[in-house]
Amino acid sequence: MKYLDEYRDEALAGKIVAEIRHTVTRPWVLMEVCGGQTHTIVKYGIDQLLPDKVELVHGPGCPVCVTSLEMIDKAHAIARRPEVIFCSFGDMLRVPGSEADLLVLKSRGADVRVVYSPMDCLKIARANPDKKVVFFAIGFETTAPGNAMAAWQARRQGIKNFSMLVSHVLVPPAIASILQSPLNRVQGFLGPGHVCTVVGYEEYEPLAERYHVPIVVTGFEPLDLLEGVLMTVRQLEAGTYEVQNQYPRVVKREGNRVARDLVNKVFEVCDRKWRGVGLIPKSGYKLRDEFGDHDAEQLFEVGEIDTAEPAICISGLVLQGVKKPHDCPAFGTLCTPQHPLGATMVSAEGACAAYYAYGRHLQCEKKALAPV
């Protein structure tokens, strides 16, 4: 397929791998920030192609996985109400809250619908004037413009029966939090290509400078990831720590100004709880006061719900890159995509689910499954 096959070329991949082998002289630990990048790495077996000295650990960049239990309980409290049509991205449906998941609520009669775009919710709201349509607005900076547009259009078109439960999270504070952790092992980052498409990478420059880590904004195709690894390793070997852009066909330093402006008009930065990590200051978006009529958290009075997460949780350590999915004794045995015990097993972008889908539980068990 044009514009994709070019980035999945075996001969070129082989050249970049050879160059990485040629460059690396000592062990390095790199983190790919995005769940989409983790997915590509495991789907194509990229980590198997890399020299042993380059270790990839998987970052917190799966929006479903980092949404706090408390926020999911709030979503469920709203979805249970008879006057509500609750709209969500598909992979949120299987994430269990304290009591059930959205699939179960649906089977009990709740009106839960999967949407591909938040704008679809406005259509649903117009078609169901006697219902209250609520969209579960999760995600990183990538989905923020689309979600902001839904709120903006709802206000502009006077669609009063549409609201959003906002649980947006931001990448730079999470990276800072990982780097400040005493458990941190990460020495370089493959930066989030699609997040930077929206917000650019100016914000990453102070992080690279303060923590002396190279950050290479990286795409999502196999050759993107291999090139991102090469660029990061080159910096590590040379002792430099700059922000570089591997993904210039999509990402500009300043990002997408129109999208950023819209996001800033609709959202403001707030403190946010991350699953398995805890509260990270100034790490999320919430709706600005002037969009209060479309803020489900206020409208349905679920602000008081406060679910504590258990203190010990390996999915939190996986999200921070301290542990690998197969370090967990439950991985692939008690915890599978059919019976997720942790959020990282639920979404396809979650590190555990990606490991599972591409058979890493089998490869761990059976030496016979070594790369062919």
Partner 1 sequence: MTTPNADAGDAGEPVSVLMGSCPLPLTNYKEIVLAHGSGGKLSQELIQKIVLPQFRNDLLDPLHDGAVFSVGDTRLAFSTDSYVVSPIFFPGGDIGKLAVHGTVNDLAMCGARPLYLSVGFILEEGLPMDDFWRVVKSMREAADAAGVTLVTGDTKVVDRGKADKIFITTSGIGVVPKGVNIHPKRVQPGDQIILSGDIATHGIAIMSVREGLEFETEIASDTAPLNGLVEAIFATGKDVHVLRDPTRGGISSALSEISQSAGVGMLLEEARIPISEEVKGACEILGLDPLYVANEGKLLAIVPADAAAAVLAVMRTHPLGRDATIIGEVTADHAGFVLMKTRIGGTRVVDMLSGEQLPRIC
Q: Which residues bind partner 1 (CB under 8 A)?
A: 1, 4, 8-10, 13-14, 42-46, 48-49, 69, 94-96, 100-101, 103-104, 106-108, 116, 222-223, 275-276, 309-310, 312-316, 329-330, 333-343, 346, 348, 353, 356-360, 362-363, 366, 368-369, 371-372
Q: How far is the CB of 171 from partner 1 (least distance, A)?
A: 20
Long-range contacts of residues 52-56, Cβ cutoff 8 Å, at least 24 apart? 53/24, 53/25, 53/26, 53/27, 53/28, 54/20, 54/24, 54/27, 54/28, 54/30, 54/229, 54/233, 55/27, 55/28, 55/29, 55/30, 56/30, 56/31, 56/32, 56/229
- 258 vs 312 by CB, closer to partner 1: 312
- Amino acid (1-letter code) at residue 168: H
In 144-190, which residue ranges form alpha helices assigned H by DSSP? Answer: 144-156, 171-180
- 260 vs 275 by CB, closer to partner 1: 275
Q: How far is the CB of 1 from partner 1 (least distance, A)?
A: 5
- 25 vs 98 by CB, closer to partner 1: 98
Kindly state the DSSP code that residue 140 receives in the 8-state scheme: S
- 299 vs 305 by CB, closer to partner 1: 305
Q: How far is the CB of 164 from partner 1 (least distance, A)?
A: 21
- d(CA 182, CA 253) in angstroms, rounded, equals 31
**Pairing, β 278-287 against β 162-169:** antiparallel
- 215 vs 223 by CB, closer to partner 1: 223
- 90 vs 292 by CB, closer to partner 1: 90
Q: How far is the CB of 179 from partner 1 (least distance, A)?
A: 24
- d(CA 316, CA 338) in angstroms, rounded, equals 20
* Cβ proximity of 32 and 42 under 8 Å: no
Q: How far is the CB of 73 from partner 1 (least distance, A)?
A: 11
